[in-house]
Amino acid sequence: MNKLLRALIVDDEELCRSDLADLIAEENDVKVVGHAANIKEAIRQIHHFVPDLVFLDLNLNGQHGYQILREIPAPPAVIAVTAFSNHAVEGFDLDIADYVLKPVEPSRLKKAIARARNQIFHRFLRKNPSLTLKVNNRITQLNLADIYEVKSNENYVEIHAINGTKLVRSTFTNFSQKLPPGFTLEIARGHLLARHQISGWEKDEKGYLKIFMKYGKEQIVSKRMQQSVLAYLAEFH
């Protein structure tokens, strides 16, 4: 389960905005919340919608798309989407998540979104290193870096961490929405792994995908989730 990313598309050509929106619609963990055709409109919509991610064309009616990053103090994650390859270095100097050339291929878009999610996660972790929980009617703080596994348990959620297991009364969906984008990897229904705790993986002789955790335990990925989990592992490990 990935947390839904709210995205803004910025491109001065309506057809390009529409085509990209159609591609993004195939990704079930990204929702387009707005469109903009120029820098002024993009900045206004970023302040209004506060998106997690911006798909940014670089040639906006003669203005450079990177101007947006210079005018907003803490911009969202940005994927540059352009027909020109000569602005990539400048973009990465401005901390963009990825640089994608038009025409956009679905597989390349998927990788770019994964990289953006990874960047969003690390930004979130720097600003919010801990999670506030209510355990046994007491409010407690838990370092996100200490979590290694989250599991559904009827009306509760089990949070497995370095200092023990916490039992929180919550639906699994509501709790997982409190976690930062990119923090977990879903390996089965109601079962998440903290991705920073993953050390490796392999397929066994029966075709099952096994994930090795830094704390020594092995986890088996459900057959239903194997394709998406392998795509993630190939990108980041």
CB 140 within 8 Å of CB 131: no
CB 60 within 8 Å of CB 38: yes
**Per 3-state DSSP, what percentage of the chain is helix, strand, and coil (rounded to 5)?**
35, 35, 30
Nearest to 186 by CA among 144, 214, 218, 150: 150
Pairing of strands 98-101, 77-82: parallel
Residue-level pLDDT at 153:
94
End-to-end CA distance of the chain: 18
CATH of 5-126 among 3.40.50.2300, 2.102.10.10, 3.40.50.740, 3.50.50.60: 3.40.50.2300
CATH topology of domain 130-236: OB fold (Dihydrolipoamide Acetyltransferase, E2P) (2.40.50)
pLDDT tens-digit series, residues 223-232: 999 988 887 7
Residue-level pLDDT at 236:
58
- Residues 43-68: what's their mean pLDDT? 96
pTM over 0.85: no
For residues 236 and 220, give the distance between their C-alpha atoms in angstroms, rounded to a whole number: 19
- Residue with the larger pLDDT of the pair 230 and 48: 48
For residues 36 and 3, give the distance between their C-alpha atoms in angstroms, rounded to a whole number: 24
pLDDT exceeds 60 at position 219: yes
pLDDT tens-digit series, residues 173-205: 999 988 887 788 999 999 999 988 999 999 888
The mean pLDDT value of the chain amounts to: 92
**Domain ranges, ordered by start, for the chain:** 5-126, 130-236
- Residues 102-117: what's their mean pLDDT? 93
Angle at 233 (CA atoms; ends 123, 194), nearest 5 degrees: 50
